[in-house]
Amino acid sequence: MNKSFHKIVSLTMALLVLFSTMSFSMNMHYCGDKLVDFKIMKEAVSCGMDVQQATNSCENTVTTKSCCSDKTVVVKGHDDLKSSFDSLSLEHQTFVAALVYTYVNLFESVDEQIIPFKDYSPPVLIKDIQLLDQTFLI
């Protein structure tokens, strides 16, 4: 139970760090109010209804506003995850050192209890002395 809980928590924290530092962009192409294309990390494909610009600049053309629009949403991740130990104040450094020291000493291994006579068998009883003397523990 404890090992599986530890694995679940560590996996969750690793995924949290991964997704909080990841940056990505979402590109959307709209025709009017309708979403035509949606891409992540790529440019959205146009629907082909964009207004064409005239190739000759001398022509008088009436420019109309296109019904199509592009929208880009950029999600930036965190870049400053590593904090320096030097930037901590003296009180914080003392606290971190005490915390590490107590955490390391919390899991010291306990020495095995040495039993010097565990390999020796008890002597064989010839007579039961307690029964002969009729001395019983009550």
- Stretch 64-89: mean pLDDT, rounded? 76
Q: Report the C-alpha dihedral over residues 73, 47, 59, 61, rounded to 10 degrees.
A: -80
Q: Is residue 78 part of a domain?
A: yes
Give yes or no for a contact between 27 and 42, defined as CB atoms under 8 angstroms apart: yes
Predicted confidence (pLDDT) at residue 69 exceeds the cutoff of 50: yes
Give yes or no for a contact between 51 and 4, defined as CB atoms under 8 angstroms apart: no
Q: Is residue 52 part of a domain?
A: yes
Note down the domain range covering 37: 2-82
Total number of domains in the chain: 1
Q: What is the DSSP secondary structure assignment for residue 88, as one 8-state letter?
A: S
pLDDT at 58: 57
Residue with tokens 């949290």: 16
CA distance 131 to 69: 106
pLDDT at 65: 66
- Stretch 122-134: mean pLDDT, rounded? 85
pLDDT mean across residues, the chain: 80
